[in-house]
Structure 1
């Protein structure tokens, strides 16, 4: 039996922030975390998120956008909502799961006014880097009351 903490990153469309968090958790914290991501809707994995994660050395191109109902029957230790909508619409999880809200800005919204593709990618990189810092502290940072 694994001692890894099971963590679900939940966002509205499971296209960007939750995918990044899952990718970093698997790549950087896979020794202590069993990571999943899902959405309250399904929007597909964002190509810019895939691109900026590849720049950081993490391949999320094989990850898929999914709903919570599509996940295997997993007893999560933590459910981390990464946006307000997911926090507000977070489904019920039975058992001793700890729910934590850790909001990050929405990269597509930040990039919407970008004049160039490079400027748009810069917004994605900002959020990517903030998510990497957050994930680096897991699971210890979730043990404190948030």
Structure 2
């Protein structure tokens, strides 16, 4: 395959869900996809994000919180928003062939037991489906 499909995951702060999605897509299919993530603003990466990814054997090397501005002017095949706030700010998001809206509960404020592991599982399931559909 010549060029990888560029995918940008966007969340409000790029501290949990979008970073998880970036790491999971990179881990699941780096042959077909170039996975990146950004927040409407950059912030501190929640340490539980890295712990949860490490726990399930996902490489977190180079993961850092980035602001959407870092990607200004860059083209993407897919921009996937992971929370309501980022969907509402779509006008700030770089150009994409397709914008996809996913909505995952924020594990930081979740009432669920073990919310970070739960978030990883939900996001990973969705990413596996995305890969299946987009690499046919």
Same topology, TM > 0.5: yes
- 2-side partners of 1:13 and 1:34: how far apart? 20
1:33 match: 33
Q: Of 96, 116, 132, which aligns to 2:124? A: 132
* 1:53 aligned counterpart, secondary structure: helix
2:51 match: 51
Residues 74-129 of structure 1 deviation map (CA, whole Å, 9 limit, x = unaligned): 310000000000000121433x5210101100010115xx8xxxx5xx11100110
- 2-side partners of 1:133 and 1:83: how far apart? 17
- Per-residue deviation at 1:141? 3.7
- Per-residue deviation at 1:24? 0.6
Deviates more, 1:25-34 or 1:7-16: 25-34
What is the TM-score normalised by the length of structure 2?
0.88
Q: Which runs of 5+ in 1 are unaligned?
A: none
Q: Which runs of 5+ in 2 are unaligned?
A: none
**Coordinate RMSD, CA, aligned:** 2.2
1:93 match: 94
* 2:14 aligned counterpart, secondary structure: coil
What is the TM-score normalised by the length of structure 1?
0.82
- 2-side partners of 1:136 and 1:42: how far apart? 27
Which structure shows the higher strand fraction?
Answer: 2
- 2-side partners of 1:123 and 1:92: how far apart? 28
- Per-residue deviation at 1:68? 1.3
* 2:110 aligned counterpart, secondary structure: helix
Moved runs in structure 1, 4+ residues, more than 4 A?
Answer: none
